[in-house]
Amino acid sequence: MTERFDAYRWERQTGPQLLALAGSGALPILPVASLEQHGPHLPVWTDSAIGHETCLRAAAKLGDAIVLPPMWMGMSEHHLPFGGTISLDYAAFSAVLRCIARSVLACGFDRLMLVNSHGGNIDPLAVAARELAVELAMPIVVATPSKMAESALGAVMETQSGMMHACEAETSAWMAMDPGQVRMDNLGAAFSNAPSVGSEPPGAFRFWSFAERAPGTGVRGDPRPSTAAKGEAILDAMAEAVARLARGETVWRAPDQVWAKGRAGR
């Protein structure tokens, strides 16, 4: 990350500056990420770094947004067998989100965008956000930019159609952000994965760990064709998807107070 994003980083501002941003209607953005294994070639900070960078680039496109430090613990228990992973359970995950959202509200902001950069957070974020929006009477919008920009990502990559795990996309993103974080000597070993033994038909669900989904290395995808140029295109496409969603007016309507007394029949 470069200094050009400092104006959009919550942690670089003073209290009075943040109060002024709240008063001006700026959009607070929280990257929701993880601290988890990313194979033998990428650091465990991968999802948090990519999520934060995506949000900062989106904020720069918007001009009136401020990005909180990433929520670096997500729901990553499926990665525990490979080491280096720190995970929350759902009760803790939703509680931390609630505290952050309440704090943002107390700071004077009247809406919140949650930008997710970890696949294991998708379902719990959907539940937590819908409950918090009604509880706090505040619009809370969730974005998973790797899904929103999937066609753009697929057009850039050679070996996959979307974001996977420690793959061509995530490795390329690191090459664009900080190439020193990629253990280039381990790219071949990262690709030498065994076939997944965990799957279920569409419409069904059960828990699978990554020891079952990606046995051997914990990697899904082929990082070998990764390049910094691909990473720049991937990060920009995801940032643009976030900015496009944030510019929409309908998503920021006040949430329907469905739990209010007498709401039924109105």
Q: 8-22 pLDDT, tens per residue?
A: 999 999 999 999 999
Token digits of residue 89: 């359970």
Return the pLDDT at 1: 43
Distances (CA, A) of 42 to 10, 37, 39, 170, 237: 27, 8, 6, 9, 22
Spell out the CATH class of 3-252: alpha beta
Domain-by-domain residue ranges, the chain?
Answer: 3-252
The letter for the amino acid at 174 is W
pLDDT over 60 (residue 25) = yes
Please give the helix or strand (H or E) that residue 66 lies within, else none: strand 65-67
Q: 46-102 pLDDT, tens per residue?
A: 999 999 999 999 999 999 999 999 999 999 999 999 999 999 999 999 999 999 999
Angle at 69 between CA 135 and CA 5, to 5 degrees: 125
Return the pLDDT at 198: 74
Q: Are 220 and 165 in contact (CB under 8 A)?
A: yes
* Full-model pTM: 0.95
Q: 134-190 pLDDT, tens per residue?
A: 999 999 999 999 999 999 999 999 999 999 999 999 999 999 999 999 999 999 999
DSSP states of 126-137: HHHHHHHHHHHT
Put the strands of the sheet holding 65-67 in their side by side order: 65-67, 27-32, 112-116, 140-143
